[in-house]
Homo-oligomer: A and B are copies of this chain.
């Protein structure tokens, strides 16, 4: 069978639909409703389900069936949704995937509590696919949560820190975004019975894909299509977020340009009307090309790992996924 782009997308959509269905039925009949309605609300708001898909692909990559890690794939997706609920509180975000965030639709207490509950539900699902020989899967998953918390903590630190280096930024996104992608690939490969080499290959794929994904996200904030991306374009600039583009621009600028960038830090962001002038500055400093190049470098690393996978279907899908994420506009 040839794995054309169309075929790859069809498999992804099939698995995504399957994940959506399983997430929908997961908490039916659970009580109290004051806890489970908000949990279902976030789990059922449509997402890309990339993390779950990574678990499935990694198991397939080492010769297992998708179905052997379905519960584990739900676990990482549930864990990811916990981070969304709590991050949205911390970021004062009102909308997520076009819907009111949990603390807005319900209230703060409900959002905290349903996030907490989702962590436990994630473990509960992971344990369903974890045989006794797989104790390390639980350690990796647990370490993943710690890294995500550390990453989010660094991200919050950066908000008020005047000097952040590119290296610190990369460390932050490695923890906040890439760690969980790495965890997905590791546990998929371990549960699927992969060899050490295979596990390491997939782990590497996940990590690099995660970094590329986040850098691409930074790019999309400035150059994405507002409707397609689902977020306000220039939102990072308006909030004064120290993204890769911003930090690179700061590094490469001097004189008036540098002062203009420093004023973003000083004022904790820019006005809507100022976004365009910063876009122009980014263009002048070539930070768009530089960031795009970095996305390409990390994507290539992921592709190199994927190329060594034996299973034809998983290999094709891992390659398709990395390429389509780089080219995405949302």
Contact = CB atoms under 8 A, between A and B. Distances in A.
- Main secondary structure, interface of A, reads helix
A260 B155 CA distance: 51
B154 A32 contact: yes
A112 B127 CA distance: 25
Contacts of A124: 139, 142-143, 146
B133 A121 contact: no
A45 to B, nearest CB: 20
A113 B138 contact: no
Interface in A89-126: 89-90, 108-110, 112-117, 119-121, 123-124
A79 to B, nearest CB: 10
Contacts of A116: 82, 86, 115-116, 119, 145, 149
Nearest to A145: B120
Interface magnitude class on chain A:
35 or more
A134 to B, nearest CB: 9
Given A110-B153, A124-B142, 19 more contacts: A31-B150, A32-B150, A34-B156, A34-B157, A82-B116, A86-B112, A89-B109, A89-B112, A90-B113, A113-B153, A116-B116, A116-B145, A117-B149, A119-B120, A120-B142, A124-B139, A127-B138, A130-B135, A135-B135
23 contacts: A31-B150, A32-B153, A86-B112, A89-B108, A89-B109, A90-B108, A90-B109, A90-B112, A109-B156, A113-B152, A115-B116, A116-B145, A116-B149, A117-B146, A119-B145, A120-B145, A120-B146, A121-B146, A123-B138, A124-B139, A124-B143, A124-B146, A135-B135
